[in-house]
Amino acid sequence: MGFRARVYAVVRQVPEGRVVTYGDVAAAIGSPRAARQVGWALAALSDPTVPWQRVINAQGRISGRGEVGRAVLQEQLLVQEGVGFDDSGRCDLKALRYPLQPPELYGDDAF
């Protein structure tokens, strides 16, 4: 199972209205220092069942690289789910962060 498949398996655990950071996802798949690769994996994402919008950076902000307009869409999707952002584009990470479990515990054989 590839790195990206594990990233997707973990991200799918995140329920509506909750968020996780790239670092959280990296730690859940066993590579605590691979936050950048998590972002890379999501940039290459083609699976519509993965709630990629719930993955934000450790500062509670949207990482606006990648496709133009993607960041705006991401914030809109999160707001729809009930995630609140302040005037500076930050959300309450402390309250909304979701505790992830390693994909092994969930049976990710679908990959």
Partner DNA sequence: GGCTTGACTAATG
Partner DNA sequence: TCATTAGCCAAGC
* Nearest in space to 24 (alpha carbons), one of 104, 106, 105, 98: 98
Q: Which of positions 31-60 make contact with DNA (CB under 7 A)?
A: 31, 33-40, 42-45, 52-53, 55, 57-59
Check residue 70 for interaction with DNA (CB under 7 A).
yes
Give whichever of 68 and 105 is closer to DNA, judged by the CB atom.
68
Residue with structure tokens 């302040």?
86
Distances (CA, A) of 77 to 28, 37, 49, 62, 92: 24, 23, 14, 12, 16
Binding site for DNA (CB under 7 A): 2-4, 21-23, 31, 33-40, 42-45, 52-53, 55, 57-59, 63, 65-66, 70, 74, 88, 90
